[in-house]
Structure 1
Amino acid sequence: MRSIGEMARDSGLGVSALRFYDRAGVLVPARVDPVSGYRWYAPEQLDEARLLARLRRAGMPLADIRLVLAGWSGADTDLVRGLLQAHLHRLELGLADARSEFSTLRAALDHRENPMTASPSTAAFRLSVPASALAAALDAVRFAVGADPELPMLGGVLFDVEGDALHLVATDRYRMAVARADAAGPGGPGAQVLVPAPLADAMRALLSGDEPVGFAVDGDRVTLEAGDRQAAGQCLAHDFPDYRRLVHLPSGRRALIDVPAFRKALETGPVRASMAQEGEGREESGASHDLSVLRVVDDGTVTVCEDGDDDPSNVAVNRRFLLAALAAGGRDRLVLEFGAPTAPLAIRRTDDETTFSLLMPVRLDD
C-alpha cells in the first residue's frame, strides 16, 4: 500500500489534488484509516493516478476523466479512444479561436501610438550614484530577472530615472523586485533603460566602497564608470512592463519575521510538490518544485503549514523563490504582507518601503 504522500510523489499529482479526486469519486483510495482519516492506495492504483495526471495536464474535463478511467480499467478501448479524440478536437478548436483572438490583439498593439512604457531612451544622459547604494539596489532585484528566451524583455534590469530617484526593477512574471537609490543627474521627466542581466552583473562587480560612480546612456549604449574602470554594452531594445501598475496592492495582513529563524523553518519544514512554473526556464520545464504553505496565526507570527492543512486562508509559494527574496531583502527582520490567497505575497523592509519584492502564489490543486 502507498501512503498519500508516496502516491503524490510517484504519480505527479499533488496531495491536495489526490484529496480532491477522492472527494469527487474519481480516484478513491483503497483504504481510509477510520481514526486518522489517512488515505492508503493499492499498488495497481499508481497506473490510474499517472493516467489521471496526464489527462489533467491535457485539460480534460472531470466528467470525461471519470469515463476514461472507467473505460481504461474495463479495457473498453473504443470508449477511451473516442473520448481522447473528442477532447483533442475541442483543444484544436480552442487553439484556432485563441489564434484568432491573438491576431486581433497583435493588430491592436501595432496600431497603438504609445507602448506600455517608454522605449529605451535615445537621449544621452548621465547620473551620479553612490556605489554602495547602486550595489544594494542591484542585489535586491537581481534574483527576479527572467530567463525565458521567449520573453527577452524580462531578461534584464530596468533602470528607471525620475528626478533624483533611480528605481531598479526586475521580474520574471512570477516574482518582481523593486529597489531605489538616490541619484544626481538630469532631473526632469525621467528616462528608462533596460540593462541586460550579464551587463548588470558586470556593473555590480565594479561597485565597491561608497564613492559615486557614473551611469551614462547614449543612444542604445549604456556605461557604468567606477574610477578608471568601466562596464559598457548595448541596452535591450524592448519595452518593459509598466511595473507601477503591478505594485499598488491593497494592504493586507502584515507580519514581522525574524529572517534567520524563518529561513530555517522553511528549509526544514514541510513542503508540497507542484509542477514547475513556466518562467523557471526551459531546462526545468516539467520538473516539480517545492511549495511552502504559509499562514499568519492570531499572534501575528507566520507558520509553515503541515501537509494536510487545507485552510482556505493559507498561501502557497515557491520555496526557492521565497528563500531568494528573503536573501535579497538584506535584513535580519522583514515584513511579510499577505493579501488574499490568490494575491501576491509582499516581502518588505521595515526601514525602507521603496525596496521590496512580490511573489505570485501557487494554487495548491495545480
Structure 2
Amino acid sequence: MRSIGEMARQGGPSVSALRFYDRAGVLVPAWVDPVSGYRWYGPGQLAEARLLARLRRAGMPLADIRLVLAGWSGTDTDLVRGLLEAHLRRLERGLSDARAEFSALRALLDHRENPMTSPHTATVDLTVPAPELAAALDAVRFAAGADAELPMLGGVLFDIEGDVLQAVATDRYRLAVARARTTGYGGPRAQVVVPLPLADAMRALLTGPGSARVAVDGDRVTLETDGGQAAGPVPGHEFPDHRRLVRLPAGRRAPVDTAAFRQALETGPARVGGTREQDGEHHELSVLRVTDDGSVLVCGDTDDATDDAAVNRDFLLDALAAGARERLVLELGAPTAPLALRRPDGTAFSLLMPVRLEN
C-alpha cells in the first residue's frame, strides 16, 4: 500500500489532485483510514495514477478518463483506442479553430489605426530623487522578462504622468510596480521601455542622495547623475497596458512580518509533487491561507487546501526581497486571482499569478 504522499512522489498527480480525483470518483483509494481519513492506494494504482496524469496533461475530460481507466486493464482495447483517437481529433479541431481565430486577430491588428497621439512619442525631460528611482528599480527588477520571443517584456517601463514616474516590469507570471516623484515635466503621459542592460546601468549610477535627470528624445533615453551618464536606444515594442492588469477584485488582506514570513516559506512545507513548469524550469509551490484572525499559513500536503492560493515559492521569496520593508501586506482573492504583495505606504506592489492545484 502507498500513502497519498508516496503516490504523488512516485510520478502520479499532486496530493491535491489525488484528493480531487477521489472526490470525483476517478481514482478512488483502496482504503481510507476511518479515524484519520488518510488515503492509501494499492500496488496497481500507481500505474493508474501515472496514466491519469498523462491524460490530464493531454487535456482529456474526466468523463472520458473514467472510461479509459476502466478499459485499460481489459483485453479488449478497442474502447480505449477509440477514446484516445476521439480526443486527439478534438484537439486537432480545436487547434484548427484556434489558428483561424488567431489569423483573424492578426488581421485586425494589421488594420488597426494608430491614434493621433501616442504616449510613446513624447519628449521628456524631468528630475527625480535618485534614492526614489533606485528604490523603484530595485522593487521591480526581479519581475522583468527574459523570454527572447517576448522582447517587449525584457525591460522596465517608465510610465510618466503628472509628477509621478512608475517603474513597471512583468514576465507574465509576475508583475511589479513602483513609483518615484518627479519635477520639471508638465507634458502629456509618456512611456518608454528601458532595456534591462540599460536599466541596470542606470541603477548603478543611483547611489547618492541627490537628484537624477531623465530625458527621452525620440528613440533614445538618458539618465544623468553627478556620477555619470547612462544612455541608449529604446526598443520600438509596446509594453502591455499594466493599468488593466492590476485591476483586481477585493481580497483578504493580512499584514505580514517579512522576515518571519520568509522563514516560514523557506522552512515550511512545499507541495510534494506540486512542481509546475514555467519557461522550461520546474518550481516548487507554496500554498497560502489567510485565517479568520488575519494570519497567513503556509499549508502542507496534509491540508485540504484546494480553495487556497498556490504560488511559485521562489517568485514569492523574490517579491518579499523586492518589497524591502519589515512589514508588507499580503492580499489573497479567489484561488484563480493573482496574489498581491504591497508596501504599506503604497509606493510599490507586486502581483504573482496563482497555480491551479487540481490539474
**TM-score band, normalised by shorter chain:** over 0.9
TM-score by length of 1: 0.91
> Given that residues 119 and 188 in structure 2 are in contact (C-alpha distance below 8 angstroms), is that contact kept between their aligned partners in structure 1?
no
Tell me what 2:23 maps to: 23
Q: 2:140 aligned with 1:146, yes or no?
A: no
> Given that residues 152 and 238 in structure 2 are in contact (C-alpha distance below 8 angstroms), is that contact kept between their aligned partners in structure 1?
yes
Identical positions, percent: 73
Tell me what 1:281 maps to: 279
Once the 2 structures are TM-superposed, how far is the Cα of residue 12 of structure 1 from its aligned partner? 4.4
Please tell me the residue identity of whatever aligns with 1:358. Answer: L
- Quick one: distance in 1 between partners of 2:175 and 2:244? 12
**Which SS does the other structure have where 2:357 is aligned?**
coil
Tell me what 2:327 maps to: 333
The one of 337, 343, 346 equivalent to 2:337 is: 343
> Given that residues 16 and 306 in structure 2 are in contact (C-alpha distance below 8 angstroms), is that contact kept between their aligned partners in structure 1?
no
Q: 2:103 aligned with 1:95, yes or no?
A: no
**Which SS does the other structure have where 2:60 is aligned?**
coil
- Quick one: distance in 1 between partners of 2:125 and 2:338? 35
Once the 2 structures are TM-superposed, how far is the Cα of residue 223 of structure 1 from its aligned partner? 2.2
**Which SS does the other structure have where 1:70 is aligned?**
helix
- Matched ranges for 1:99-138 at <5 A: 99-114=99-114, 118=118, 120-121=120-121, 123-138=122-137
| C-alpha spacing 1:71/1:118, structure 2 compared with 1 (3 Å) | farther
Tell me what 1:304 maps to: 298
**Which SS does the other structure have where 2:10 is aligned?**
helix
- Quick one: distance in 1 between partners of 2:131 and 2:357? 40
- Matched ranges for 1:187-226 at <5 A: 187-226=186-225
Once the 2 structures are TM-superposed, how far is the Cα of residue 114 of structure 1 from its aligned partner? 4.1
Tell me what 1:85 maps to: 85
**Which SS does the other structure have where 1:83 is aligned?**
helix
| C-alpha spacing 1:69/1:252, structure 2 compared with 1 (3 Å) | closer
Tell me what 1:355 maps to: 348
- Quick one: distance in 2 between partners of 1:365 and 1:119? 42
**Which SS does the other structure have where 1:11 is aligned?**
coil
Tell me what 2:318 maps to: 324
- The answer for unaligned runs of 5 or more in structure 2 is none
- Quick one: distance in 2 between partners of 1:93 and 1:343? 30
- Quick one: distance in 1 between partners of 2:27 and 2:252? 37
How many residues get paired? 357
- Quick one: distance in 2 between partners of 1:257 and 1:19? 30
Runs of 4+ in 1 over 6 A off after TM superposition: none
Once the 2 structures are TM-superposed, how far is the Cα of residue 165 of structure 1 from its aligned partner? 0.9
- Quick one: distance in 2 between partners of 1:341 and 1:27? 24
**Which SS does the other structure have where 2:284 is aligned?**
strand
1:24-78 Cα deviation digits (max 9, x unpaired)? 3322223322221211223332222111111100001112212222232224333
| C-alpha spacing 1:46/1:249, structure 2 compared with 1 (3 Å) | same
Tell me what 2:179 maps to: 180
> Given that residues 258 and 334 in structure 1 are in contact (C-alpha distance below 8 angstroms), is that contact kept between their aligned partners in structure 2?
yes
> Given that residues 55 and 65 in structure 1 are in contact (C-alpha distance below 8 angstroms), is that contact kept between their aligned partners in structure 2?
yes
Most deviating of 134-143 and 6-15 = 6-15
1:83-137 Cα deviation digits (max 9, x unpaired)? 211111111011111111111122222222248x94643x443222222111100
- Quick one: distance in 1 between partners of 2:260 and 2:13? 31
Tell me what 1:365 maps to: 358
Please tell me the residue identity of whatever aligns with 2:137. Answer: L
TM-score by length of 2: 0.92
Tell me what 2:48 maps to: 48
- Quick one: distance in 2 between partners of 1:33 and 1:113? 65
- Quick one: distance in 1 between partners of 2:306 and 2:40? 24
Tell me what 1:164 maps to: 163
Most deviating of 189-198 and 209-218 = 209-218
Please tell me the residue identity of whatever aligns with 1:294. Answer: L
